[in-house]
Structure 1
Amino acid sequence: MDVASRSRSRVEERLTRLEEEFGTPEVTQTTFEVGEQRYQRSLERSRDGQLDVRAVVRDDDGAVLVREGDGEWVVPRGQTRPDERLGEAVRRIVRDAADVDCRVTDAVSANIHGIRNEDDESASTVYRLSVVFTAEIVDSSEPSGESVRWDAEAEAISELV
């Protein structure tokens, strides 16, 4: 089985797990080209079965948990670990980003990314899965760290959910 078939198969397995745990989210597919280094990184993550996770966590007042990343405020994000349940991954990523506990409420969207190597047209397309989850804060503790906050006006979040 070639790279494309294996990575596509892994994405389908993860979608099945996602549906078993959270139901069926809206699924879209996007294909784009990246340079050799990013392509290799995507290939490695695909081999490990990792998927990309974004968590939209709200407090009791509806504000969204954001953290500073790459010069902008973003929701907590990260990758799953091999054989990690999706809900566990979301809780770990949020805890690592802000030191708060959350309860995952839904998987709202999934995007299958077809990643092509712009430097090598003969290279197979690598498929990755990215999922946006919603969650609620478990307790009323404040997030820790200067680069984390609750944002009541997180307009960029609306495109995720």
Structure 2
Amino acid sequence: MEIAERSRARVQERLARLEQEFGSTPVDQTTFSVDAAAYQRAVERSREGQVDVHAFVHNESGDVLLSDADGSWEVPQGQTQGAERPATAVERVVSETAGVACTIRDAVRATICGVRNESDPDAETVYRLSIVFDAEINSAALEDGDAAEAAGEAEASLRWDDSGEVAVAELV
């Protein structure tokens, strides 16, 4: 029970910090089975204390920023690095993905993901945390020539979507 207990404790700690920073955020829980390689990645990311982050970044018109992820359009997403706060990770991921800055408005949902090894039913469940943030593009960043140039270079792999039907993939 060592892996399960430590990963559960890390998730609870991160949820407590999230509540301190953003107030009450809806929390869902799901459990799923993955192959041995994905399970091992989940174990490693749990040991490192990584949190999966997803960003619904809106422009002035309310459209959502999407990036091309191997042929499917998704909101910017990634993981925390080291002791990085999840909100800071979102800002970094958006900057790396789109070349522009964003401002976090709120944490809109957190999901506790229980990850099981489908190849080994006796392996402990590893718990991971995934947080979805709502953000807005910094209009000042759009006016900055360097940011506009970076966004222009990334334009082929980015788009703004007004449909509101954007999928958030779970990261394992």
Same fold, judged at TM 0.5 (above): yes
1:137-156 correspondence to structure 2 within 5 Å: 137-139=137-139, 141=142, 143-144=151-152, 145=154, 146-156=156-166
Runs of 4+ displaced beyond 4 Å? none
Residue ranges of structure 2 left out of the alignment (5+ in a row): 143-147
TM-score normalized by the length of structure 1: 0.93
Q: In 2, Cα distance between the equivalents of 1:118 and 1:129?
A: 20
- Equivalent positions of 1:17-96 (< 5 A) are 17-96=17-96
Report SS of the residue matched to 1:156: coil
CA deviations on 1:21-63 (whole Å, 9 max, x unpaired) are: 1112110100011110000000000000001000000001111
Provide closer, same or farther for how the CA distance between residues 68 and 154 of structure 1 changes in structure 2, counting only shifts above 3 A: farther
Q: Is the 8 A contact 1:59 1:136 kept in 2?
A: yes
Structure 1, residues 128-159: CA drift from partner, whole Å, max 9, x if none?
0000000011126253411012222242269x
Moved more, 9-18 or 147-156: 147-156
Whether the aligned pair in 2 keeps the contact of 1:56 and 1:157 (CA below 8 Å) is no
Structure 1: runs of 5 or more not aligned = none
More helix by share: 2
Is the 2:75–2:166 Cα contact (8 Å) retained in structure 1? no
Match of 1:129 in 2: 129
Aligned to 1:155, the other structure's residue is in SS state coil
- Sequence identity (%): 52
TM-score, normalised by the number of residues in structure 2: 0.87
SS of the equivalent of 1:136 reads strand
Mapped to 2, the partners of 1:60 and 1:157 lie a distance apart of: 21
For this pair of structures, how many residues does the alignment match?
158
> 1:4 — aligned with what?
4
- The C-alpha deviation readout for 1:88-130, integer Å capped at 9, x for no partner, is 1110010011001000000000000000001111110000000
Q: Which moved more, 1:26-35 or 1:82-91?
A: 82-91
Amino acid at match of 1:148: L
Deviation at 1:70, TM superposition (A): 2.8
**Range that drifts further, 117-126 or 139-148:** 139-148
